[in-house]
Structure 1
Amino acid sequence: MDLRNYMDSTYLKTAVQAGVSEEENSKIVQQVIKEAVEESFKLVMLRPQYVAQARAYIDLSESKVLVGTVIDFPGGKGSLNEKLEEAQRAIDAGADELDFVVNYRLFQQGMIEEVRDQICKCTQLTLGAGKTVKWIIEVAALSNMEIVQLTTLIKKVALSKFEEKQYDKIFVKSSTGFFQTEDGRPNGATVEALVLMLENANPLPVKAAGGIRNRQDAELMIGLGVKRLGTSSAKAIVDNLDSDNTY
């Protein structure tokens, strides 16, 4: 199994979160991009402001590595128009895949139609541009029942609004990796959450993200059936090393 084919090599820290200057953070991003190309990872996942930088380097390198970015990250509280505008800017900058944070708080408040409308219209925009969309549901903020219900909602929108040939371009994704939990609980992908997602997303693919730091965990999640792994420890994982990265 070549784990590189599953890897969304990820760096989503702001300069403040990383404790460095903007210039230093840009250099870190450049190294992440370079590493993704050298290792032939599936994709490099960065904040929107770095999409053009990644696109230019990857195109110059004549690499097949995809460029991914996050939309309405990490809170998912933005309006539909804000999500659409940010997504269009990312597409214009050269992103291949857009990982949207679903407004799970609205979902929890019972505002299902608003959430459904966001999922539908943002997916339409992304697929219409020939890109891949992933919906981050933030499993650490949800009960098991809510994981099932929100995953099912995304699936129902996909099956009712889009063609079967597009299903593999619509992912359900576990986590941002930035959600603050209490009592040391995992804030990312867990086997329990992924099983629920896989059972209820099918035929849509699932991406596991958050807290994947070693080869054993990566292979376990792939064995469950996930199609992508979002991790800041991609090189450590393929080199069969443990990582202390927090995402």
Structure 2
Amino acid sequence: MKYTIDDFSQLIDHTNLHAYANHDDMKKLCLEAKEYHFKMVAINQVQSAICAKELANSDVHIGAAISFPLGQTTIASKVFDTKDAIKNGATEIDYVVNLTEVKNSNWDYITDEMSQIVEICRENNVISKVIFENCYLEKSEIKQLAEIAKVVKPDFIKTSTGFGTGGATIADVKLMKETVGDIVKVKAAGGIRNTDDFLALIAAGAERIGTSSGIKIINVLKERFAKDNVSYIDL
């Protein structure tokens, strides 16, 4: 597939999930997202309203993180927070699965949780992403979560929060993509800080990349495009 610079920018969720991020940090994040034409700003739920205001006249999405980063809240809590984020302007939802119930092999619970949150997103025309946090999972658990997603059909399944003991890997992206096929998209996030890793994860099947290094990645790509005198890269 051929990718222009703007195509690559549109794969990036421009991220600031720091607990200490203030309103000026959010405004800066939104300005950068507009300047580089990133797909989304990835933020903590409480920042939804300010980012919605800053991005009101743009096509940049507002992505609220739900039950972040541990996923250890009840379904009712996640449902409330999802609705609250959407009410405050979120146009995408990235929620963390209940890892306790994954480890309990309580797949009915996981299916119910996913179904309820995805349905709220569908009703509100909001993109849904399910964060697995693969660094804590066995390959069989990753595969089972992906199999559930094939049935529930969120828009994306996602590798990581970026706050666990590990982030996105090519092997995990390939496993997730091979399992869901074209039914659900895959987002890679966590530890993606350079252009070569960015390109490798896209080649492995990721259709969205969460990173706080998007500006650096795109600037390096611009230099490569100029050096090679090309208008696209074929991956």
User: Structure 2 length as normaliser, TM-score?
Assistant: 0.88
What CA distance in whole angstroms lies between the structure 1 residues aligned with 2:209 and 2:63? Answer: 13
Contact 1:172 1:201 in 2 (8 A): no
Moved more, 196-205 or 149-158: 149-158
Which residue number corresponds to residue 164 of structure 1? none
* Cα drift, residue 157 of structure 1: 2.4
Matches within 5 A, 1:235-246: 235-240=215-220
**Residue number among 93, 97, 106 corresponding to 1:102 in the alignment:** 97
SS of the equivalent of 1:239 reads: helix
Q: Which amino acid counterpart does residue 204 of structure 2 have in structure 1?
A: L
What CA distance in whole angstroms lies between the structure 1 residues aligned with 2:150 and 2:69? Answer: 22
Which residue number corresponds to residue 131 of structure 1? 126
Which residue number corresponds to residue 88 of structure 1? 83
Matches within 5 A, 1:15-54: 15=20, 25-54=22-51
Q: Which amino acid counterpart does residue 44 of structure 1 have in structure 2?
A: V
Q: Residue 4 in 1 paired to residue 1 in 2?
A: no
Q: Which runs of 5+ in 1 are unaligned?
A: 16-21, 159-168, 182-186, 242-247
Which residue number corresponds to residue 225 of structure 2? none
Count how many residue pairs are aligned between Structure 1 and Structure 2: 215
**Residue number among 191, 203, 206 corresponding to 1:226 in the alignment:** 206
* Cα drift, residue 219 of structure 1: 0.9
**Residue number among 13, 19, 24 corresponding to 1:14 in the alignment:** 19
SS of the equivalent of 1:126 reads: helix
C-alpha root-mean-square deviation of aligned residues, in Å? Answer: 1.3
Matches within 5 A, 1:52-63: 52-59=49-56, 62-63=57-58
Deviations 1:186-229 (A, max 9, x none): x1100111111111122210000001111111111111221100
SS of the equivalent of 1:178 reads: coil
Q: Which runs of 5+ in 2 are unaligned?
A: 222-235
SS of the equivalent of 2:55 reads: helix
User: Structure 1 length as normaliser, TM-score?
Assistant: 0.84
SS of the equivalent of 2:90 reads: coil
Q: Residue 196 in 1 paired to residue 193 in 2?
A: no
- After superposing on structure 2, the runs of 4+ consecutive aligned residues of structure 1 that deviate more than 6 Å are none
SS of the equivalent of 2:192 reads: coil
* Cα drift, residue 170 of structure 1: 1.5
What CA distance in whole angstroms lies between the structure 2 residues aligned with 1:201 and 1:232? Answer: 27
What CA distance in whole angstroms lies between the structure 2 residues aligned with 1:234 and 1:44? Answer: 11
What CA distance in whole angstroms lies between the structure 2 residues aligned with 1:220 and 1:63? Answer: 29
SS of the equivalent of 1:41 reads: coil
Contact 1:171 1:207 in 2 (8 A): yes
* Cα drift, residue 26 of structure 1: 2.4
Q: Residue 211 in 1 paired to residue 191 in 2?
A: yes
Which residue number corresponds to residue 72 of structure 2? 77
Q: Which amino acid counterpart does residue 43 of structure 2 have in structure 1?
A: L
Which residue number corresponds to residue 172 of structure 1? 157
Contact 1:172 1:205 in 2 (8 A): yes
What CA distance in whole angstroms lies between the structure 2 residues aligned with 1:190 and 1:41? Answer: 22
* Cα drift, residue 133 of structure 1: 0.3
What CA distance in whole angstroms lies between the structure 2 residues aligned with 1:126 and 1:214? Answer: 32
What CA distance in whole angstroms lies between the structure 2 residues aligned with 1:223 and 1:75? Answer: 29
Which residue number corresponds to residue 166 of structure 1? none
